[in-house]
Chain A
Amino acid sequence: MTGVSQQGHSLFRIAMRSLLSSKATTTALALMAIVVLLTLAAPLLSPWDIDSTDWDNVATSPSIETAHYFGTDDVGRDIFVRTLYGGRISLLVGLSATMVSLVIGVFWGAIAGYAGGRTDQLMMRFVDVMYAMPFMFFVILLMVFFGRNIFLIFVAVGAVNWLDMARIVRGQTLSMKHREFVEAARAGGVSNLNIIRRHIIPNLLGVVIVYVTLTIPQVILVESFLSFLGLGVQEPMTSWGALVNDGAALMESAPWTLFFPALFLAATLFCFNFIGDGLRDALDPRDSAGES
């Protein structure tokens, strides 16, 4: 036991320091930042618009002169711009749907697991019922009722993903519930809500974060699948998933239409995995405090 730092043991600062001490995580964070900045700055970087077609350059390969940095697709739209705009949608769907599933899932699972008994039974049976609903059917139902809307995708994906999260969190909570420090808190008159908030949820973070990093890529892929079926984003708006699907069709004649969106998608998914690993380690005081 060495005095790593006698004071300023704030979890946030330790987490940041340990997050940045890992090369893989730092690289992933930097790469992620670049991708995000690019998608935000898309209109400034290219003279082309997302739906403008350049009839002189249909399905041409990447070139600097024409300002089609990533080439064009079979109707002459600029892949560079479309990839960046698509990134906005994909990242937005990925993050927001995951956040929805994170918040609902963690609270639902923690409350069910901690309360136990009939409450647990009721809450988890509800989860089972939701599981039994066919996902496609659910999405189509939403579309029929509310019309086609990008936010419906967030809702639909989030509404399905929190079920997994709730199950995982409940399982973890069940094993956590009988740990002595939770019992100590109960003996100390701490209210149930505070036990869940202070003692249970912080100790679930490791598992939750890993699961979140798995969920984000999954959600991005689900969105591309929906787009492919015509239930997701609609032309001229696009997403990475939609672009990859389009590109796959032109793989032989114009491989760049597949390559660049796929590159962005893959890089982002990699980044999320590394950031997730780093976060999990960084948020655990046992690891991040360094030597012990």
Chain B
Amino acid sequence: MTMPLLELKSLNVSFAGRDGITRAVKDLSYTLKTSETLGIVGESGSGKTQSVMSLMGLLPHNATVSGKAMLNGTDLLALSQSELNRVRGKDIAMVFQDPMTSLNPHLTVGAQMSLVARRHLGKSKRDALAECRLMLEAVRIPEVAKRMTQYPHELSGGMRQRVMIATALLCKPKLLIADEPTTALDVTVQAQILELMCELQTDFATAILLITHDMGVVAGTCDRVLVMSKGECVEENFVEPLFATPQHPYTRALLAAVPRLNEVNTELNQPTDTAQRLEARGLEVTYSVDSKRFLAAAHQLKALRGVDLNLIAGETLGVVGESGCGKSTLARAVLNLIPSSAGDVLLMGESLQKLTTKQLRAMRSDMQIIFQDPLASLNPRMTIADILCEPLDTYHPNLSRAEKLRRASIMIEKVGLSPEQLTRYPHEFSGGQCQRIGIARALMFEPKLIVCDEPVSALDVSVQAKVVQLLIELQKELNLSLVFIAHDLAVVRQISHRVMVMYLGKVVELADRDEIYSSPRHPYTRALISAVPIPDPKIQQSLGFAAISGDLPSPLHPPAGCAFCTRCPLAEPRCANEEPPLRAVGRSMVACHLAD
């Protein structure tokens, strides 16, 4: 048995705060061998990030660390700052969650990468740049020479994360710590990055410590998994037995909460009324983007390029697509929160575009929205009671305060919180609770339609399942129509009756949920579905992550013909010239020349 690369012995991390000492990590021990991947899984607040931050010496000043962390025989926790600086970046490298904020926006890619090479490898400027170029090629960035001179904001999210990984690997570190490296990315890009990391690990023989909350990611990449809850390790095992026979109830709960693409365990509402609640015809939204050149005409960015949809009472329409495909624009255009440049939206037969401001304001109580970031959608200076009563202040100003509070208490119980919590402020609640409050606020209007803009993507998996279940129950009870926007296909499957797939501001496929998941017809839909990590190591590791390559083209200059043709594996010459219309194929509507 060789000596492990990293050995943690009873690591404790605690923070001194206003309300005493919080123990973030309790007695954590594990080992990591060379070129092994260890996954650390847990919900937010489980201490998984703090445990690795302590290894890097990146904890805030009010933190106390005890225990031992032996990397190749040196105790990292006993090193001084200057000694740590020699280790950091050279022996240990880190990839953070958000590639935008972890790159310096004022330095070009080449400049910031070469700094690392010069510092740790002692290379001259020229050699360092050459080294960086090689490394960028290794992470498969196209047009390396051009990328080197670009600034981070000019790159896509996936590209930035590749740059981060390349920077991390520059010094051939023995240990790479990846803290939620794909959480901020789309599924398709996530698949590309994960595949890249697996390949690089074999090339560079690096040990990887992968921190994530996504069981699907773990299943495909890790050798061993460590499950953390409330600062403690509750279970540690090789990946296959962990998924096959989870021992600890927490692991089991975590696994059960993961939404799976191939199985649906929710009971949906059966719509009875076939009256159209919502109809959109040829909806287009154009933003003008200022040109960089002086006095040049502004660019026209078409975020929505003619979208039709319809929705009956008690039905849910799921909308999926990568970021930048116009999902959120659609949500706001449907509610008339942003002006549309063409097309029409009808809510219960009434055209919203033709209403006066006053009439529109009156209609607003029928259509509500739930936002992605639960905390940001609640005014931090208002109590929950005030937040919930605001709809009543607007639409029923004659009610007494007591009556308003009574209704607010009923509503807050309906979403699973208690009326005593009405006097609190939003920051006193967890993400999931805030989202429940957001739902309660939307329901205070007694709406007919709720547009949910990524309502669960900011929440932990176990909380996601509960919020989705709550929405389904409320739909049954109140006969709500829902537009459910998400980038997570598995979640969409749990709640939607029909699913609409969008690409660059257009609908590429629309079908009943079982139809679209069992026989996707558009190549983009197929790519999206295959990119979703499956929380089962046997299936996932045999499949690999291969999906589609490349990034979403700039919506400023969408490709001619079929928008997807630049990334489509099946593309034919005519795809680049002719734009495919949305047509019925089987039981689906597909916009592809090749679908049949």
Contact = CB atoms under 8 A, between A and B. Distances in A.
A189 B365 contact: yes
B335 interface: yes
Contacts of B378: 181, 184
A291 B18 contact: yes
B382 A198 contact: yes
Contact of A9 (B373, B425, B429): B425
Given A2-B19, A186-B337, A188-B394, A9 B423 contact: yes
A190 B362 CA distance: 10
A148 interface: no
A199 B382 CA distance: 8
Contacts, number: 95
B390 A292 contact: no
A11 B367 CA distance: 32
Contacts of B383: 9
Given A180-B376, A180-B377, A290 B19 contact: yes
A251 to B, nearest CB: 45
A6 B428 contact: no
A5, A187, A190, A198 — most chain B CB neighbours (10 Å) = A187
Contact of A286 (B361, B425, B429): B425
B466 interface: no
13 contacts: A1-B428, A6-B423, A7-B423, A180-B377, A181-B378, A183-B371, A186-B337, A187-B337, A187-B367, A188-B365, A191-B361, A202-B381, A286-B427
Interface size class of B (residues with CB under 8 A): 35 or more
Given A191-B361, A202-B382, A292-B428, 7 more contacts: A1-B430, A183-B337, A183-B369, A184-B441, A188-B445, A198-B379, A290-B19
Contacts of B377: 180-181, 183-184
Interface in A257-292: 284-286, 289-292
B380 interface: yes
Interface bracket on A: 20 to 34
Nearest to B383: A9
A291 B19 contact: yes
Contacts of A291: 17-19
B150 to A, nearest CB: 27
A17 interface: no
A188 B425 CA distance: 20
Interface in A148-196: 179-181, 183-191, 194
Contact of A189 (B362, B373, B376, B380): B362
A188 B368 contact: yes
A277 B590 CA distance: 60
A42 to B, nearest CB: 40
Given A181-B376, A188-B445, A292-B428, A203 B381 contact: yes
B390 A190 contact: yes
A197 to B, nearest CB: 12
B424 interface: yes
B420 interface: yes
A8 B422 CA distance: 11
Interface string B404-441: 00000000000000001001110111100000001001
Contacts of B390: 185, 188, 190, 198
B369 A184 contact: yes
Interface of B: 17-19, 332, 335, 337, 361-362, 364-365, 367-369, 371-373, 376-383, 390-391, 394-395, 420, 423-425, 427-430, 438, 441, 445
A202 B425 CA distance: 14
B428 A289 contact: yes
Nearest to A203: B381
Given A184-B371, A187-B364, A179 B376 contact: yes
A187 B369 contact: yes
Contacts of B376: 179-181
Nearest to A1: B428
B120 to A, nearest CB: 38
B352 to A, nearest CB: 13
A290 B445 CA distance: 32
Contacts of B17: 291
Nearest to B420: A6
Closest 5 interchain pairs by CB?
A189-B364, A291-B19, A180-B377, A202-B381, A285-B425
Contacts of B382: 198, 202
A194 B386 CA distance: 13
Contacts of A205: 381
Interface string A187-229: 1111100100011001101000000000000000000000000
Nearest to B376: A180
B395 A1 contact: no
A211 to B, nearest CB: 18
Interface string A1-21: 110011111010000000000
B423 A203 contact: no
Contacts of B335: 187
B362 A180 contact: no
B175 to A, nearest CB: 35
A206 to B, nearest CB: 10
A205 B438 CA distance: 24
